[in-house]
Structure 1
């Protein structure tokens, strides 16, 4: 696993998303209760970017279909409950999922050295 510089520590804030391309991989960096985390900037539902998603209670919410994922471990919390950010009735959730089962986000090991943040890709 390669250790690569991702950002300066002061760029990464609590409950916000910092979008970066690190060695060709699109990632989101954030802090959850002060803990640094990094996930792939790609929703596993349709591969759309999560960078414009909202952070709520330590999770990123996909701006397209409402899926939410824990930023610390990538675990799926909710799967396809909206369409372009608009909540949809429960009976439509399986239709929006397009037959895809819930999946987790890919996470990356984060390491801090001084004021620099590195990812293991």
Structure 2
């Protein structure tokens, strides 16, 4: 496993996403309840980036289709409930999903040391 410098601790703010590419991995960093976390910057629904999504109650919400994922463990909380950020009625959710089942986000292990954040790959 490699320990790779990712960011300075002060770059990762509460309720904000920090997008970085590290060794070819597109990664989103966030601070949730004081804990630094890292997830893949790719929604498993259609592979679109999550970097412009919002953080809500410790989850990132996909700006395209409304899927939300826990930032600490990557688990899917809600699956495809919007279209380009506009909430849609429940009967459309399966249509928006395009037959894809809910999936979790890939998570990355992080370590903090001397005000620096490292990604473990």
TM-score between the two structures when normalised by the length of structure 2: 0.98
- After TM superposition, the structure 1 = structure 2 runs for residues 1-121 of structure 1, keeping only pairs within 5 Å, are 1-121=1-121
- Secondary structure of 2:72's counterpart equals coil
Shift of 1:74: 0.2
CA distance in 2, matches of 1:55, 1:80: 16
**Alpha-carbon displacement from aligned partner over 1:13-59 (angstroms, at most 9, x marks no partner):** 11110001111111000100110000000000000000000000000
CA drift of 1:117 comes to: 0.4
SS of match in other structure, 2:27:
strand
Q: CA deviation at 1:115?
A: 1.2
> What's the Cα RMSD here?
0.6
Q: 2: distance between equivalents of 1:2 and 1:82? A: 38
Count, aligned residues:
121
TM-score (norm 1): 0.98
- 5+ residue gaps, structure 2: none
